[in-house]
Amino acid sequence: MQSMNVDALWINVHLATLDGAGYGIIDDGAIAVRAGRIAWLGPRSALPEEMVPALTHDGRGRWLTPGLIDCHTHLVWAGSRAREFEQRLNGATYAEIAAAGGGIRATMWATRGAGDARLRAQSAPRLRALLTEGVTTVEIKSGYGLEPETEARQLAVARALGQSLRVHVVTSFLGAHALPPEYESRADAYVDLLCTRMLPDLHAQGLVDAVDAYCETLAFTAEQVARVFDAARALRLPVKLHADQLSDGGGAALAARYRALSADHLEYSSEAGIRALAQAGTVAVLLPGAYYLLRETRRPPVDALRRHGVPMAVATDCNPGTSPCTSILLMLNMACMLFGLTPEEALAGVTRNAARALGLHGDRGRLAPGLRADFALWDIEHPADLVYALGARPCVGRVVDGISADPP
Ligand code: DI6
Ligand code: FE
């Protein structure tokens, strides 16, 4: 019999493959890796006799899932907005604080003023916190520079953090996050700058994997976003959108029109908007942290998303203003408790559907032969424990590209 050489084999693990409709549980399973990809998986009883592993790991009855994917973060920034949080608890609104020069602009000043070393030092702990919860891929947006140099530095720091902390980083250019003070009441001129200079330059430097925009009354109009998306399309870059978070600005339909990878937030999206997302194959990214911290009362239309078959992802939205959150597991719980997802839907939202929201569905987010060997190992009794327990620290290991990368 011909031998089947593999680099590593995990036995004595329960698998939740997240491949197919639900958890995809394989009790007492085994999973083998070759050249950073999944070579084989199944029940241990079906392990091919001819398999010759260079290394065998005993999972000691733990659970192994796809590495978690946080598909929407603004994780690289400098400074703190704790005082604005306090102001809001004393009665000021998010919009009032923004109008008074705080909000995104406050973080912009702090980020512009921080050197690379400080930007990196302040951002790394946030990324480390995500890694302790089994995250193996994280999306990180720019959008706190709002001028060419600082936007580039944010994206470069994001890439560098990924390399030093053993996690895959996917970057999104979010120059259209807020209007910088230099362009006060000249929003269209700023959009010109984004389309003709910033995006092409950053793309040429290899810093951009996707393009995002904030479509909202206090940010950019649908027409302005469409121009940014046209510029992205000219460079063959995929797009995503902060859509209908605080009001129905037709964001879902706009995202669908450009076949966006994802439309994110969606609290105020209409039924027609949801139908358009379904037709375009766009993922709905739900962000319960922002909903919670804004004390929003309108929930995203989860029933309509289900009815129309729109895949739902869940993410931290890690940002200093509306979601200072570095716990993807807490988001799983909140997605269920606040938005009515089931635990299976929530877990799919940080694995297979999160991969889809990044255009990486064929590469990761599930346990299946040929996919990237990114895993999380858990000391739990059942996958629902990941959603249920608040403040637990169940992650006991991460595997990135087939190689163990213990939680920091
Ligand atoms: N994502 C964002 O980009 C804004 N809200 C959200 O959910 C605000 C970010 C900020 O206030 O810094
Ligand atoms: Fe966001």
pLDDT in tens, 83-104: 999 999 999 998 899 888 899 9
* Range of lowest pLDDT (18-22, 121-125, 257-261, 271-275): 18-22
Closest ligand 1 atom, residue 177 Cα: 3
Say what the pLDDT of residue 82 is: 96
Closest ligand 1 atom, residue 77 Cα: 12
343: exposed, middle or buried (Cβ count in 10 Å: 0-12, 13-18, 19+): buried
Please say whether the beta carbons of 239 and 258 come within 8 A.
yes
With a 6 Å cutoff on the Cβ, whether 214 touches ligand 1 is yes
Question: How far does residue 226's CA lie from ligand 1's centre (Å)?
Answer: 20
DSSP tally for the chain: helices H, then strands E: 16, 17
Ligand closest to CA 240:
2
Mean pLDDT confidence for 333-350 = 98
Q: What percent of the chain has pLDDT over 70?
A: 99
Ligand closest to CA 71:
2
Whether the pLDDT of residue 2 is over 90: the answer is: no
209: exposed, middle or buried (Cβ count in 10 Å: 0-12, 13-18, 19+): buried
With a 6 Å cutoff on the Cβ, whether 103 touches ligand 1 is yes
Whether the pLDDT of residue 408 is over 60: the answer is: no
Question: How far does residue 319's CA lie from ligand 2's centre (Å)?
Answer: 7
Closest ligand 1 atom, residue 98 Cα: 11
Q: Which residues pair with 242 in a beta bridge?
A: 214, 264
Say what the pLDDT of residue 356 is: 98
Q: Which of 75, 83, 94, 104 to mutate to test the pocket of ligand 1 (most atoms within 8 A of CB)?
A: 104
Question: How far does residue 21's CA lie from ligand 2's centre (Å)?
Answer: 28
Question: How far does residue 77's CA lie from ligand 2's centre (Å)?
Answer: 13
Say what the pLDDT of residue 107 is: 98
Q: Token digits for 278?
A: 């379904």
Q: Cβ–Cβ contacts within 10 Å for residue 205, how many?
A: 11
Say what the pLDDT of residue 122 is: 98
Mean pLDDT confidence for 121-128 = 98
Say what the pLDDT of residue 94 is: 86
CA atoms within 13 A on the CB side of 233: 11
| Residue of higher predicted confidence among 408 and 338 | 338
Mean pLDDT confidence for 353-380 = 98
Say what the pLDDT of residue 53 is: 96
Whether the pLDDT of residue 407 is over 80: the answer is: no
Say what the pLDDT of residue 1 is: 65
Query: What's the angle, vertex CA 8, arms to CA 51 and CA 2, rounded to 5?
Result: 20
Ligand closest to CA 317:
2
Cα 163 to Cα 40: distance, rounded to the nearest angstrom: 28
pLDDT tier for residue 324 given thresholds of 50, 70 and 90? very high
Closest by Cα among 369, 358, 38 to 168 = 358
Q: What percent of the chain has pLDDT over 90?
A: 96
With a 6 Å cutoff on the Cβ, whether 107 touches ligand 1 is yes
- What is the overall mean pLDDT for the chain? 97
With a 6 Å cutoff on the Cβ, whether 111 touches ligand 1 is no
Cα 348 to Cα 357: distance, rounded to the nearest angstrom: 12
Q: Output the CA–CA distances (angstroms, integers) from residue 394 to 170, 202, 317, 341, in the order listed.
A: 25, 38, 22, 21
With a 6 Å cutoff on the Cβ, whether 73 touches ligand 1 is no
With a 6 Å cutoff on the Cβ, whether 291 touches ligand 1 is no
Question: How far does residue 404's CA lie from ligand 2's centre (Å)?
Answer: 30
Say what the pLDDT of residue 321 is: 96
Mean pLDDT confidence for 348-366 = 98
Closest ligand 1 atom, residue 107 Cα: 12
Residue nearest to atom 6 of ligand 1 (CA): 322
Please say whether the beta carbons of 282 and 310 come within 8 A.
yes
First to last CA, the chain: 42
Q: What is the 3-state secondary structure (H, E, C) of 313-346?
A: EECCCCECCCECCCCHHHHHHHHHHHHCCCHHHH
Whether the pLDDT of residue 218 is over 90: the answer is: no
Whether the pLDDT of residue 396 is over 80: the answer is: yes
Q: Cβ–Cβ contacts within 10 Å for residue 114, how many?
A: 21
Ligand closest to CA 77:
1
Residue nearest to atom 11 of ligand 1 (CA): 321
Angle between helices 148-165 and 104-113 (to 10 degrees): 80
Task: Give pLDDT tens digits for 143-197.
Answer: 999 999 999 999 999 999 999 999 999 999 999 999 999 999 999 999 999 999 9
With a 6 Å cutoff on the Cβ, whether 172 touches ligand 1 is no
- 75's CB contacts (< 8 A; 6+ apart) are 123, 126, 127, 130, 138, 140, 158, 318
Please say whether the beta carbons of 239 and 210 come within 8 A.
yes
Mean pLDDT confidence for 126-151 = 98
Residue nearest to atom 1 of ligand 1 (CA): 317
Cα 29 to Cα 11: distance, rounded to the nearest angstrom: 6
Q: Cβ–Cβ contacts within 10 Å for residue 301, how many?
A: 23
Question: How far does residue 131's CA lie from ligand 2's centre (Å)?
Answer: 20
Question: How far does residue 190's CA lie from ligand 2's centre (Å)?
Answer: 20
Q: Token digits for 290?
A: 């922002």
Say what the pLDDT of residue 319 is: 98
pTM of the model: 0.98
85: exposed, middle or buried (Cβ count in 10 Å: 0-12, 13-18, 19+): middle
Residue at token pair 């937030």: 265
3-state secondary structure of 102: coil
Cα 103 to Cα 257: distance, rounded to the nearest angstrom: 30
Task: Give pLDDT tens digits for 37-81.
Answer: 999 999 999 999 999 999 999 999 999 999 999 999 999 999 999
At 183, give phi and psi (nearest 5°). Answer: -115, 20
* Range of lowest pLDDT (44-53, 93-102, 245-254, 368-377): 93-102
Closest by Cα among 387, 391, 286, 289 to 344 = 387
Say what the pLDDT of residue 101 is: 85
Question: How far does residue 316's CA lie from ligand 2's centre (Å)?
Answer: 9
Question: How far does residue 367's CA lie from ligand 1's centre (Å)?
Answer: 32
Say what the pLDDT of residue 99 is: 85
Q: Token digits for 152?
A: 């580039």
Cα 87 to Cα 93: distance, rounded to the nearest angstrom: 8
Say what the pLDDT of residue 16 is: 98
Please say whether the beta carbons of 133 and 327 come within 8 A.
yes
Say what the pLDDT of residue 52 is: 96
In the chain, helix, strand, coil percent, each to 5?
40, 25, 40
Q: Residues within 5 Å of ion ligand 2 by Cβ?
A: 317
